[in-house]
Structure 1
Amino acid sequence: MALGDNDNHQSPERVVEIKNCLDGGLAPDAKSPWTIGKVPGKWSRVHDSAFHGEMVDIGPFDIYYYRERSHIHRPSFHSDLPVGRDLKMRFLLRLLGGKLERRGRDGDVSRTTEGQRASDGCERDEHDDGGRMAMLLDDLAEAMQILEQKTRACYSESFDDRSSEEFVEMMVVDGCFVVELLRLYHRRFNPQSPGVATEYDPIFTNPRTLTALRRDLLLLENQLPFFVLEKLYELINKKNEIDHQHAVPLEVLAVTFFDPLLPQHNAASKLDTNKPKAHLLDVFRSTFVKSVSEKVLKKGKSEVESRLNPNGSMRGLVRHFASELQEVGMQFKKRKGHDLLDIEFDHNTLRVPQLSINDNTISLLLNFVAYEMSAEHPEPFFTNYLMFWDSLVNSPGDIQIFRKHGIINHLGSENEVAELFMKCRELIYDLDYDLDLGYLYNEIKEVNEYCEQYYESKYSVWWRSLIRERFSSPWTCLSLFAVIILLLLTLLQTFYTVYAYYRPH
C-alpha cells in the first residue's frame, strides 16, 4: 500500500516525523564514518588534562548534561555542575531576548512546526519581542530535530539511552552557545569589525577564561558537527536581520577566536571555505595544513609510494637525536614566516618554525592527533609532526639545543619537556600508521642520509689515514707483520705456561 493511500488515518505529527528522519540522512547505526569519538583512556597518561574540559563540556559526551539536566526556562545551577552550564544558559537567554512566553507543560523546550505556529498565530502577537523570541526557539529546535539522525551518525557512540528530546535540547543549548561566543568575540575584538559588540559579557574581559574556553572547544570529545553550527548560525543571522550570504563565514569567526591559542600569520586566509569541515577542531587544523598539503600534492602520491622501503625498516623517523646531529655538524635554525608544520632541511641545516610549549598547545596537538586517528581519510600531518619531534628528543640536552636556537619556547624545565615528548612516544607507537607516507618523508630521509655520509666519510678518512701512515712502503708492511707474529707467539707462550700450571696431574 502506498503511503498516500492511508492519509486519512495518518496523523500530521507522524508525517512530519517521517519527513524529519528522511531529511536527517543516515541512521546512527548505518555504515558511515564517524568524526567525533572518545579518546582512548590510556592516552590521558601522556598529559593528564589533554583531553578533558576545564570550563565547559559540549556535545553528547557531556555526562553532567544528562545526569543533572536543567531546563531552558528555569536553569538549576547546582554546585556539582560545571561552570559551563551557566555560560551556556546565559548566552542562550541573551540570544532569545532574555524571556520566553511559551513553554511546554513538562518544562521542556517548546518545539512546534511552522503549520502549528500558523494555526495558533492568533494567540500570539508576532510583533511582540517575547513572541518572536519563542518563535526563534521553535525554529532552532525544529532545525535540530531535522538534523538529529545525521548528527548522531557523526559520533562513535549511538547514545541510544538519550531520548530525542534530550539530544535535540543539547544541540540547541550547546550549539547556540558556541555560535554566539564566536560571533560576539569577532564583533568585539576584530579590528576590521564596524564597532564593538553592544552585548557585554564578563568572559570577554578575562584572558584566562577565554584561553580556557578556546582549549575546551578544541577537544575532540567536545565537538558538534560543523553543519549543526552552520544551521544555527544561519538562523541567528536571520533573527538579527543579517543577510547570511554576506555575513562573515562561520569558519572565519572560529579561526579568529582560536588563533591566540597557537598564533600564526593571517590564519583566516589559509581557510578553504569550499571544503566541508567536520567540526571546529577540523576547521582550526585546516589552517595549519594548507601549505604542507600543497607540498604533498606537488610531489604526487605516486612519487611517495615508489619510495616505500621494501624491507619494512623504519625510515620514517630520524635515526639520531638532536645532540647527536649537532655532533656531526648539523645546524639548527628557527624558520621565520612559515607555518608550524613547514619544516625544511637544506644541506647541513634543519630549519624548524618555533613551537611554544605549554599545557594548552600540548592539549591542542594531541587532540589533532586523536582526530587524525579517528577520521577515515585524514592526512596525518600532526601525527607525522609529533613523530618527528619524538625521534629528535631523548634528553633535556636535546631540548636545550632547540631552546638555544629559539625553535622551542617553553615555560617549564628542559627535563619536563623532554619527558613529555618521551611520553608521546608511547602514544605514537600505539598507532597503526605507515611511517613512510608522512609529509616529512623527504626531510627525514635527507637528515638520515647526511648522517650516513658523515659517518662513512669519517671512517673512510680514518682508514685511508691508517693505510697511508702504516703501509706507505714494503718495509713498513713487513715490520707490522713481524710485530703481529711476535704478539701471537707471546700470547701462545703465555697460554701454555698457565695451562701447564693448572693442568691436573
Structure 2
Amino acid sequence: METGSGELKETNKELVSSIKERIEAISSLRSIFIVPEKLRTSGNDHGNEMYIPDTVSIGPFHHHRNGNLKVKEEHKLHYLYTLLSRKPNLEATLHQCIKALGDIEQTARHCYEGTLNHKSDEFVEIMLIDGCFIIELFLKYAYKGLRRRGDLIFTSELFFDVRKDLILLENQIPWMVLQSLFEIVPKPTPRTLSELALGFFKKMLPGELEFLREKFSQEGNHLLDLIHQCYIPTYAIVESKKAGEPKAEDMKCASDLRKHGIKFMRYTAASLLDISFYKGVFEIPPLETKKYNKILFKNLIALEQHHSDQIQYFTSYAKLMKAFISCKEDAKLFTHLRIVVSDSKDKAKHKDRDMVKEEALSLFSSLCDRVDVKKFYYAGVVGEANDYVTKGKSWWQKLKCGCLI
C-alpha cells in the first residue's frame, strides 16, 4: 500500500504540474508581440526605426542587441544596485526578487508571442534587471534627489530617447513582473507603481490628469497597454443604421465635406478619440503635434493589429483622420480651427502654422498603410455624415427642380 500511495502521489504531482502549466498559458494571454513585416515596410518611414529600440532594450526580444545600444547592460545593473541597496541587506532582497520572479516565470513567458529560447535563469535575470531598471528610472524621474552626479540618462538628451524606447511594442515586459518587483524593492515614496508610471509618461499623453490617472489605475498587460487605455474613447459606439457598415474610406476629406455644408469644431473631451457628429457638425478634440507622436501611434496600431477580434479604437481614429486630412487644404483647415496644434510644452522651438500643417499631413498620410480595420469604431458616425450629405444633395436637387417652391 505504501508503494502504491507513493506512486499515486508522484503521479498527482506530475498531473498538478501539467494542469498548472496549461492554466498559466490560458490565463496569461499573449500581449507582447513581434511587429508584422507588412507594418515595418509600409509608408515612407525607415521601417525598423519605428519599432526597434536604439537606446535601451527591455525584455527578451532585443536582449541580444545590448552591445549596440546607448544604455548598456552595465548601466542597467547600476540602477539595479542603487534600487536594492536602499535596504541594508542587498543579498536578501535580491533573493526575494528572484524567488518572486521564479514563481511567475511561466506566466510571464506566455505573455510573449512565439517560443522564447532563453533558459530559466537567463529569462528571470532579464526580468529582474530590466524590471528594476524601469522602477528605478521612474523613481529617479519623480525624485531628483535620487539622481547621482554624472548619471548618463539624466545629464543628456538621452532621457527622451529612453522614454521613447519604453513605448515600443517589442520592448515590453509584463506589468505583473514590474508589480511583483515593486512590492519587494525599497521605495522612498508612498506612490503606487501606476502613479509613478503615469508621472513618467504623462507629458506624452493627451487628456486631463484625472482622466489619465483613472486609466493608469486599471489593470494592464504592460506599459504600452496602459498608454493604449488612455486612448480608448468614452463615447458609446454609434450604431450604423444600414446594412454593410461604412468604412473610413467612405469618408470624404474635410474640404469636400465643407462644400456639402458640414462644419468642423474644436471640442474639448475626455479622450482624444471622442469624435462626434451632430446636426451637420463634427466635434473633434485637439491633437498636439508632440515629438514622438508617429512612433507612439504606430506602436499603438501594431498592438491593435494583434487584437483584430476587438474594436480597434486607435486604428479607427488614425483612419478617420487620414480621410479628413488628405491634402494641404485639409491640413490648413484643421490648423486654422486649432484641431491640430503645436505642442505648447515644446519650448525648444517655435512651430509656425505651416510646420504644423506639414506635420499633420505627414503623420496621417503614412500612419495606416497596409493596416486593416475589421471593427471600425466610427462606422455609425461616418454613416450619419454620409446621410447628411445625401439628404443635402436631395434637398438641393428638389429646390433646383422647383419642387420646394
Report if aligned partners of 2:28, 2:108 keep a CA contact under 8 Å in 1. Answer: no
Report if aligned partners of 2:324, 2:330 keep a CA contact under 8 Å in 1. Answer: yes
Report if aligned partners of 1:23, 1:147 keep a CA contact under 8 Å in 2. Answer: no
Report if aligned partners of 1:96, 1:137 keep a CA contact under 8 Å in 2. Answer: yes
Aligned to 1:179: 135
Aligned to 1:393: 325
Q: In structure 2, the residue corresponding to 1:351 is in which secondary structure?
A: strand
Report if aligned partners of 1:285, 1:368 keep a CA contact under 8 Å in 2. Answer: yes
Q: Pick one of 229, 232, 242 that aligns with 1:286.
A: 229
Aligned to 2:172: 223
Aligned to 2:367: 424
Aligned to 1:366: 298
The aligned runs of 1:65-464 (5 Å cut-off) are: 80-97=68-85, 129=88, 132-159=89-116, 161-188=117-144, 197=146, 201=151, 203-204=153-154, 206=156, 208-236=157-185, 239-240=186-187, 247-266=190-209, 267-271=211-215, 273=217, 275-289=218-232, 292-293=233-234, 295-296=235-236, 304=239, 307=240, 309-310=242-243, 312=244, 314-315=246-247, 317-336=249-268, 338-358=270-290, 360-375=292-307, 378-409=310-341, 412=355, 414-415=357-358, 417-428=360-371, 431=372, 433-435=374-376, 438=377, 440-464=378-402
User: Residue deviations 1:385-434, cap 9 Å, x none?
Assistant: 11211221221221111111111125546456424423234233xx2513
The range that moved more, 400-409 or 417-426, is 417-426
Aligned to 2:35: 39
**Whole-Å separation in 1 of the counterparts to 2:3 and 2:334:** 71
Q: How many residues align?
A: 385
Report if aligned partners of 1:399, 1:418 keep a CA contact under 8 Å in 2. Answer: yes
Q: In structure 2, the residue corresponding to 1:426 is in which secondary structure?
A: coil
**Whole-Å separation in 1 of the counterparts to 2:17 and 2:146:** 36
In structure 2, relative to structure 1, the CA distance for the partners of 1:354 and 1:210 (3 Å cut) is farther
> How much has 1:82 moved relative to structure 2?
3.8
Residue 53 of structure 1 aligns to which amino acid in structure 2?
A: P
In structure 2, relative to structure 1, the CA distance for the partners of 1:270 and 1:315 (3 Å cut) is same
Report if aligned partners of 1:333, 1:350 keep a CA contact under 8 Å in 2. Answer: yes
In structure 2, relative to structure 1, the CA distance for the partners of 1:363 and 1:81 (3 Å cut) is closer
> How much has 1:26 moved relative to structure 2?
4.6
> How much has 1:20 moved relative to structure 2?
9.0
> How much has 1:250 moved relative to structure 2?
1.4
**Whole-Å separation in 1 of the counterparts to 2:162 and 2:5:** 50
In structure 2, relative to structure 1, the CA distance for the partners of 1:396 and 1:198 (3 Å cut) is closer
Report if aligned partners of 1:176, 1:232 keep a CA contact under 8 Å in 2. Answer: yes
**TM-score for the superposition, normalised by structure 2:** 0.82
> How much has 1:27 moved relative to structure 2?
6.2
Report if aligned partners of 1:255, 1:283 keep a CA contact under 8 Å in 2. Answer: no
**Whole-Å separation in 1 of the counterparts to 2:390 and 2:59:** 51
Report if aligned partners of 1:23, 1:146 keep a CA contact under 8 Å in 2. Answer: no
**Whole-Å separation in 2 of the counterparts to 1:32 and 1:96:** 28
Q: In structure 1, the residue corresponding to 2:282 is in which secondary structure?
A: strand
Q: CA RMSD in A?
A: 3.5
Can you give the 5+ residue segments of structure 2 that lack an aligned partner in the other structure? 343-350
User: Residue deviations 1:57-92, cap 9 Å, x none?
Assistant: 111111425xx6xxxxxxxxx5x3442534312211
**Whole-Å separation in 1 of the counterparts to 2:340 and 2:313:** 19
> How much has 1:42 moved relative to structure 2?
2.5
Report if aligned partners of 2:57, 2:69 keep a CA contact under 8 Å in 1. Answer: no
In structure 2, relative to structure 1, the CA distance for the partners of 1:356 and 1:413 (3 Å cut) is closer
In structure 2, relative to structure 1, the CA distance for the partners of 1:93 and 1:221 (3 Å cut) is same
**Whole-Å separation in 2 of the counterparts to 1:328 and 1:287:** 34
User: Residue deviations 1:81-113, cap 9 Å, x none?
Assistant: 442534312211212339xxxxxxxxxxxxxxx
**Whole-Å separation in 2 of the counterparts to 1:81 and 1:3:** 57
Instruction: State, as a whole percentage, how many aligned pairs show the same letter.
Output: 24
In structure 2, relative to structure 1, the CA distance for the partners of 1:398 and 1:86 (3 Å cut) is farther
Aligned to 1:488: none
